Amino acid sequence: MDEKIRVKIRRSPASDGGSSRFDAFEVEREDRMNVLDVVNKIQSTQDASLAFRYSCRVRMCGTCSMRVNGRNRWTCRTSVDDLGSDLVIEPLPNYPVVRDLVVDMKPFMESQQRIKPHFIPADPKAKGFAQIKDDSTERKEINQHVECITCGNCYGACSLVTTNKDYVGPAAISRAYALITDSRDGAGEDRLALLNSHSGVWGCHTQFNCSEVCPMGISPTRAIQKLKRKEIARGITEFFGRSTSR
């Protein structure tokens, strides 16, 4: 394997209105090197103006997400050895670029707020803690969707977000599904109403782009398909309810 890593980084000086370009670098390979190490080394030894974002460096926060060799990834957990000696690093798609590899997460965070992402108790006056048994079907269903740490990789990979800026996005719908499935939450009907549109679950074309890039192994596509079935059941119930009331 080559001792040097050849790196192309998309530079986007969005703040001054300039067009993007690719800058080329070479970095000495080190043992157990990840992509974030590569970017850090370029900034510290070759180009101090390179802008990128990271925080924990221990595979917990997701803030170091970038597009590497055509795939959205957490760069801190992406080994260079798995990618070879040629890297192409770009900012996450579907986000406004602040500068270089730094994107503005505002559209993603706003999409989360649209589905009421916080728990709303079904009985606000209930005393004590409402519990769901760990071995219950409900708990197992919820568990598959609560590990999201809002890194935004899925939003960046979603082709529907690219073509429809009103689409709420996979992470928000996955979060909504976890809350709708939770029997202790009282806003399920409100969320189903919010998602019953082309900007909600019906906008998804089931391409699995979001599921493929999730570092936590979550499948928003799965949640979306289950919510589509819930929307159909809800519609049928409402239709027959109106019919019998006439």
Q: With a cut of 70, say whether residue 16 has pLDDT above it.
A: no
Measured CA distances, 208 to 71, 154, 230 (Å): 13, 10, 20
CATH architecture for segment(s) 106-244: Orthogonal Bundle (1.10)
Q: Where in the chain is the domain with CATH 1.10.1060.10?
A: 106-244
Fold of 4-103: Ubiquitin-like (UB roll) (3.10.20)
Can you tell me the distance from the alpha carbon of 213 to that of 9, in angstroms, rounded to the nearest whole number? 20
- Is the CB of residue 111 less than 8 Å from the CB of residue 194? no
CA-wise closest residue to 36 among 44, 49, 191, 237: 44
Question: Can you name the residues that pair with 23 across neighbouring β-strands?
Answer: 9
pTM of the model: 0.90
What are the E-state strand segments in the chain?
Answer: 4-11, 21-28, 65-68, 71-74, 86-90, 97-99, 102-103
How does pLDDT run across 167-197, given as a tens digit for each residue? 999 999 999 999 999 999 999 999 999 999 9
Measured CA distances, 9 to 51, 156, 232 (Å): 11, 18, 46
Q: Where in the chain is the domain with CATH 3.10.20.30?
A: 4-103
How does pLDDT run across 144-171, given as a tens digit for each residue? 899 999 999 999 999 999 999 899 999 9
Q: Is 99 helix (H, G, I), strand (E, B) or coil?
A: strand
Contacts for 78-82: CB closer than 8 Å, 24+ residues apart: 78/34, 78/35, 78/36, 79/32, 79/33, 79/34, 80/5, 80/29, 80/33, 80/34, 80/35, 80/37, 80/38, 81/1, 81/33
How does pLDDT run across 80-137, given as a tens digit for each residue? 999 999 999 999 999 999 999 999 999 999 999 999 999 999 988 888 778 899 999 9
